[in-house]
Structure 1
Amino acid sequence: MLAVHRMSPWRHRLPGAALIALVLALFDPQAARAEPGVPVPPNGLLTDRGRGDVSEADRDFVVKVRLAGLWEIPAGKMAREKSDDDRIRSIGQDIASQHVTLDKLVRDAAKKLDVALPDEPNADQQGWLDEMREAEGADFDQVYIDRLRAAHGKIFPAIATIRAGTRNDTVRKLAQRTNQFVMTHMTLLESSGIVDFTGLPTAPPPAAAAPNGSLRQVANAEPPLSVGGAPVLTVVVVALASVAVTAFTVRHVMQDPRRRYRRQRSRSY
């Protein structure tokens, strides 16, 4: 009797690369959706124990993350209810639901760091929400997209500053996670095709690079030594010039023929 070797249809049909993709999708859906060749930050390598000094900038950052959710969640709900554009409604739904997740992360971080969080949007954010409530149709879409895109653009550099310089591991991890949310939201908003990029603030011009060193090294360099208020280099130059003039004068006088004649006459007596 012949033995029949049965292979799983999945194993038969999936090549190695596809099998790996399936495993990634099962265990890490985010990694499966990642753009090939573009790394996803490994947040699991960061500690989150609340260790390290917490600066005033750190505390302000935690509060700002909380404030972002307090107005972007209701703004997303309005987008779902008021917009006539399916794409805008989808964007509003995604951003609002993601902010719910981010809000939990920031509240957990604030509890570890003993940071008091607000419960209402600030005055500017309340004004943006009022503006959206009054707008209808395409006007609402434009207000919603432009307001959120501008807000994300403002907090984006602040996140980078905190992520690069904070001493606290919980703030560091929150900044990295927040950065991923903000980048995603900026991309979603821009996918609407109606972002007014000309209305966004332009980046400041780059500072001139210092030769053979960084701007920070030049800014932190100690002032040159001085003598009586004058820089040492100036004093040295003046002194060398004086010596040169004196030497030239003495040499000129010693070579004067009349002086040599007087010296010869004095020797004859």
Structure 2
Amino acid sequence: MRISRSTAGTAFVGGALILTLTALAYPSMLGVQNTASGQDRIIANTQYGPLTEADRDFVVKVRAAGLWEYPLGNLVLQRGTTPEMKEAGEHLIVGHGRLDSTARRISLELGITLPNEPSPQQQQFVATAEGATGKEFDSTAVNIMRVAHGGIFPTVAKIRATTRNSLVRELADQTNDTVLDHISVLEKTGMVNQEQVSFQITAPPKMPQEQVTPPAPQAGAPVRVLEIPENLKDLETVAPNPSYAQPQPSPSAG
């Protein structure tokens, strides 16, 4: 499922593989606090089943999560002070690299435009961890990511339970496995403040929509690819690199 290095229009920029892709219709409301009643509205009928606003937003959220957790995983790998921190960094890089591959593939099939940058709030998460050093860095990075992974669980479960689109269902399965793996390795570091994490997940701060929405890419802009380093491509995790068969069209699709 990885994009070939021979793909036309590709280049390495800032450590990420880039390929040129024409932007499609970008959803206007993608924040994590989106509770619009129209989320179950069908926006497209595809050969893989109907696609709802919630389905589309989920694909974008998976992509946006990788756009900040992948670089933070690299930072953890570089700055982590213990073997457990290094392991967490590896799992973050690999997990989000694999999720990104799936999200990009199904976005092409479903006509979903993906962001190239995380939301301002997510960018601030990375900046906050970047500003710390030593054990403070370990604790800051781990707890930020533990809150993020715990907070996405309800969304993953709801999408998996309700989607009628087989591609979105595939992504939800993979996301669930990856989130569980990441929570496990983050907790293995011994740095998670469970009381703080529980409070932040159950009582998240209210944020303006523009802070939690990833910016729309410009038409024709290169699409960032979260490339997994060669030495980590065979890393075994709870959510191993899936060799999913190509999804078949939904039996109910017209």
User: TM-score, normalization: structure 1?
Assistant: 0.56
Structure 1 position 70 matched with structure 2 position 67: yes
Asked if the contact 1:50/1:112 (under 8 Å) is kept, the reply is: no
Larger RCO: 1 or 2 (CA < 8 Å, sep 6+): 2
2:141 to 134, 139, 144: 144
**In the aligned structure 1, how far is the partner of 2:183 from the partner of 2:126?**
19
For the 8 Å contact 1:162–1:175, the answer to whether it is kept is yes
Q: Answer 1 or 2: which has greater strand percent.
A: 2
**1 or 2, which has the higher helix percentage?**
1
Which residue does the alignment assign to 1:129? 126
Alpha-carbon offset, residue 200 of structure 1: 2.2
Equivalent residue for 1:54, pick from 48, 51, 55: 51
**Structure 1 ranges of 4+ moved more than 4 A:** none
Residue of structure 1 equivalent to 2:105: 108
- Alignment equivalent of 1:88, drawn from 85, 88, 106: 85
Q: Verify the 8 A CA contact 2:84 2:185 in the aligned structure 1.
A: no
| Long gaps (5+) in structure 1 | 1-48, 205-269
**Matches of 1:149 and 1:72, distance apart in 2:** 11
Per-residue displacement from partner, 1:26-75 (whole Å, max 9, x unpaired)?
Answer: xxxxxxxxxxxxxxxxxxxxxxx851111100111000000111011100
Identity %: 39
**C-alpha displacement at 1:84, in angstroms?**
1.8
Aligned residue identity for 2:104: R
C-alpha distance in structure 2 between counterparts of 1:179 and 1:190, whole Å: 17
- Report the count of equivalent residues: 156
Helix, strand or coil at the partner of 1:84: coil
Q: Shift of the alpha carbon at 1:95?
A: 1.4
SS state of the match for residue 49, structure 2? Answer: coil
**1:17-36 maps to which residues of 2 (within 5 A)?**
none
Tell me the distance in 2 between the aligned counterparts of 1:200 and 1:86. 23
- One-letter amino acid of the counterpart of residue 173, structure 1: E
Q: What TM-score does the superposition give when structure 2 sets the normalisation length? A: 0.59
- Alignment CA distance shift 1:178-1:94 (3 Å): same
Cα distance in 2 for residues equivalent to 1:102 and 1:51: 19
Indicate the residue corresponding to 1:193 in structure 2: 190
